[in-house]
Structure 1
Amino acid sequence: MTDARPLPFIYQFAAGAVAGISEILVMYPLDVVKTRMQLQVAGGAGPHYNGITDCLKQIVAKEGASRLYKGISSPVLMEAPKRATKFACNDEFQKIYKREFGVEKLTQSLSILSGASAGCCEAFVVVPFELVKIRLQDVSSKYNGPVDVVKRIIAQEGVLAMYNGLESTLWRHGVWNAGYFGVIFQVRSLLPKAQSKSQQTGNDLIAGTIGGTIGSLMSTPFDVVKSRVQNTAVIAGQARKYNWSWPSIFTIYREEGFSALYKGFVPKVLRLGPGGGILLVVFTGMMDFFRTVHYK
C-alpha cells in the first residue's frame, strides 16, 4: 500500500522528473504521429495520413525509423521540469487548498482545482520546449536541431516568440491536469483498497490510464490549436491565422469541421492514456522509495 507520509518539495520534484522521463522514452513516437496529424490541414500541401498506422508507415518509409524520435532531445530536457512541476505543484496546491478551505481530507473538487492550478504552472515551464518540438516534428521542418530552432526563432521572430502559444498551452495543461487528477481521485475512491504493493500498482495504473484518457478527451481541441499556433512564424505587420485559443477553435471548426478539433486524438490518447498510468505508477513508486530514505 502507498505510504501517505508527507515529503519535502525536492522529493516530489525528483519523483515527478523520473516519472516524466520514463513516460516520454516509452511513448514518444505516438507524440510525433499526433503532431503530424494535427498540423495536417484539409486540402493543404504535404503528405496525407489516413490514421496512426498509415502515418507510422509513411514516416518510416520516407524519412527513416529514426524520424519517430526526431526532436526527442527537447521533450527529454523538458520532461524532468515539466512532470516534476506537475506533480510537485499538485501536491503543494492540495495542501494550500485544504488549508484555505478549512478541510482535512482532499475532495474531488479540490483535486480538480489543484490539478488545474498545477497545469497552469506547468504550462509556463513547457512552452519554449514545446515550440522547439513542434517546429522539429513538422514534415516540412528545415531546422537542423533544437539549438538551430532557438537561434532562428530569436533572430527572425524575437525573444518573446519563444513563448508563442502560451495562452493555448495554459488552456491545454489546465484542462488536462484538472481532468487527470480529478478522475484519479474519483477512480481511486471506487477501486478496492489495496492490500499489497502489487495491488496498489495495479490500482494506480488503472486510475492513471483512465485519468490520462479523460484529460486527453477534454484538452485535445486546445492541443490542436497550440500545435497550429506554435508552428506559425511571427512576422511583423502580418496577422496570424491562429493566435488565441477560442477564436482559433471556431476557425478550425468553421473551415474543417468538428472532427478537425480532434485531429491526432487517437495517438494522443494512446500515448497519454497508458502514459498517464505510467506517470502515476512511477511517481508513486519513487515517492515510496524516497520515504524509505527520508524516514530511515
Structure 2
Amino acid sequence: MSDLKKPVPLPFGYTFLSGAIAGCTELLLLYPLDVVKTRQQLHTGKGGVGMMATFRSIVATEGASRLYRGIVPPLMLEAPKRAVKFGANGYWGNLITSNGQRKNTQLLATLTGCAAGATESVVVTPFELVKIRLQDKSSTFAGPLDVIRHSLKTSGPLGLYQGMESTFWRHFWWNGGYFGAIFWVKSLLPKPERGEILNNLAAGTVGGFVGTSLNTPFDVVKTRIQLKGTGEWAYPALFKIAKQEGFSGLYKGFAPKVLRLAPGGGVLLLVVEALSTVFRNYLGPPYI
C-alpha cells in the first residue's frame, strides 16, 4: 500500500473525544479500586491490610459513597489526560519514526510510550495531588476547591505540583510498559479477518498489567509525597521504603491497582479503537 493510500490521522477533536469517552468509562467502572489502592499505599510500616479487608473497612466505617470520594478531579481530568496520552504517543511516534519512514520496533514503541508518559505527567500532577488528599482516611477537606485553596495558601502556586518528579516517573514507566506491551502482544496475535476487538482487549489488558507492575513503586512514593507535601526525590524515597518496610512495601496497593488498570487498559484501548473506527467510517476517505 502506498503512502497516499494510507488513512490519514483523525482530526484532534475526534481523538480527544475518543480518549475522553474511553477514560471516563474506565474510571466510572473501576474507581473504587483506586480508593482502596491509595489507602493501602498510605499505610506505613511492615505488612499491611489486605485489599478486601480495606474495602470492607471503608464501607463499614465510612459508607459506600466514600469509595467515590475524590472522583471529581480525575473525572475532570480524563478528557485532557487521555487526549494527551494518545496524542503524545502519536506525536512522539511520528517524530521517532520520521513519520513512518523508519519501521517501528519493540524498542521504539516502548520509548514512544515513555515519552508520552513524561508529557502526560505535566497535566496530571495537580489533579493527582487533589485526589490523594481527598482519598486519605483522615481527610477533612470539604472538596477539591478546598484542597486547592489550602495548597495555594500554604505552598503557593507551585504547591499544586508537589510530587511532580515522582509523578513523572510513574507515568514514564507505565506508558512505556503499556504501549510497549501492546506492540509486542499485537505482533504475536494473528490478524483477524473481521475487526480487532479481542486483539485490542488482550493487548490493552497485558499492557495495563505490565505498566502497573513497572510503576507501582513510584506510585507508592508519589502518593506519600503528595499527601505530606514533602520535597523528597523518587529514587531515594524508594530505597527508604524498601529499607524500612521491606520490598513488599513498594508494592502496597498492587492488587486493587492491577485489578483496575489491567482490565482498564484493555477497556481503554478497546473503546479508543472502536470509536476511532466509527469516526473514520463517518468521515469517510481519506480517513478510512
TM norm. shorter chain > 0.5:
yes
TM-score relative to the length of structure 2? 0.93
Match of 2:149 in 1: 151
| Aligned residue among 224, 249, 252 for 2:220 | 224
CA distance in 2, matches of 1:291, 1:137: 39
Contact 1:216–1:272, Cα closer than 8 Å, also in 2: yes
* Residue 235 of structure 2 corresponds to residue 246 of structure 1: yes
- The CA deviation string for residues 200-244 of structure 1, in whole angstroms up to 9 with x for no partner, is 1111111100000000000011000000110013xxxxxx4x610
- The CA deviation string for residues 240-261 of structure 1, in whole angstroms up to 9 with x for no partner, is 4x61001100111111111000
SS in structure 2 at match of 1:50: coil
Contact 1:38–1:263, Cα closer than 8 Å, also in 2: yes
Report the CA distance between 1:123 and its aligned residue: 0.4
Structure 2: state its 5+ residue gaps: 1-5
CA distance in 2, matches of 1:211, 1:169: 19
* Residue 64 of structure 2 corresponds to residue 65 of structure 1: yes
Larger deviation: 153-162 or 132-141? 153-162
* Residue 249 of structure 2 corresponds to residue 260 of structure 1: yes
SS in structure 2 at match of 1:112: helix
Report the CA distance between 1:96 and its aligned residue: 1.3
Equivalent pairs, count:
280
CA distance in 2, matches of 1:101, 1:184: 18
Match of 2:52 in 1: 53
Contact 1:86–1:118, Cα closer than 8 Å, also in 2: yes
Contact 1:220–1:261, Cα closer than 8 Å, also in 2: yes
* Residue 140 of structure 2 corresponds to residue 137 of structure 1: no
- The CA deviation string for residues 53-105 of structure 1, in whole angstroms up to 9 with x for no partner, is 111100000000000000101110011111111011111211111107951x3
Q: 1:140 to 1:224 in 2, by over 3 A?
A: same
Runs of 4+ off more than 4 Å: none
RMSD in angstroms over aligned alpha carbons?
A: 1.7
TM-score relative to the length of structure 1? 0.91
Amino acid in structure 2 at the alignment position of 1:277: G
Q: Percent identity?
A: 51
Match of 1:115 in 2: 113
Match of 2:90 in 1: 91
Amino acid in structure 2 at the alignment position of 1:177: N
